[in-house]
Amino acid sequence: MSRSAAATGDGCPCGSGRDYAQCCGPLHAGVPAASAEALMRSRYSAYALRLLPYLRESWDPSTRPALSEADLDPATRWLGLRIVAHEVDPADPDTAFVEFIARWRVAGGRAQRLHERSRFRRTGDHWRYVDGRIRASKP
Ligand SMILES: [Zn+2]
């Protein structure tokens, strides 16, 4: 890992305020996420760092798309992540929902944002992204 936060000593790309090595770094190295929220953060960081294998691995096999390098445009700059809500399904502790707003900009373009409520499922020790619903939100 030589890119971005890991190399510069800046905070973690997910915006937690912690160092990458104390935040999403261990998850990218294979440590199970303690919660769906932590997994969500690590997936945002993985987009920012363009960690294709991690994005695949953290996606539930039932919904995982055929991700390729082409899905990770190097011209994309990730601007920030805000976690709006995190809830574990009261009827099923292996299902959780994370609502978030992610912002990014493709070089030369306008800033874009995604407001989504994502569903996560835990299998064994590992939380994985299943799917999400786009939420309408003000620009
Ligand atoms: Zn992080």
pLDDT of amino acid 6: 45
* pLDDT band per the 50, 70, 90 thresholds, residue 139: low
pTM of the model: 0.90
Q: CA-CA distance, 19 to 2, in Å (whole number)?
A: 15
pLDDT of amino acid 77: 94
Q: Write the CB contacts of 102 (distance below 8 Å, at least 6 apart in sequence).
A: 44, 78, 80, 81, 82, 113, 114, 116
pLDDT of amino acid 124: 96
Q: CA-CA distance, 122 to 18, in Å (whole number)?
A: 25
CA 18–ligand 1 middle distance (angstroms): 7
Q: Is residue 116's pLDDT more than 90?
A: yes
CA 92–ligand 1 middle distance (angstroms): 26
Q: CA-CA distance, 123 to 35, in Å (whole number)?
A: 12
Region 74-96: mean pLDDT is 96
CA 61–ligand 1 middle distance (angstroms): 23
pLDDT of amino acid 108: 87
Report every protein residue that has its C-beta within 5 angstroms of ion ligand 1: 12, 14, 16, 23-24, 41, 45
* Strand locations in the chain (E): 76-88, 95-106, 111-123, 126-134
The share of the chain scoring above pLDDT 70, in percent, equals 91
pLDDT of amino acid 63: 97
CA 72–ligand 1 middle distance (angstroms): 19
Neighbour order of strands in the sheet with 126-134: 76-88, 95-106, 111-123, 126-134
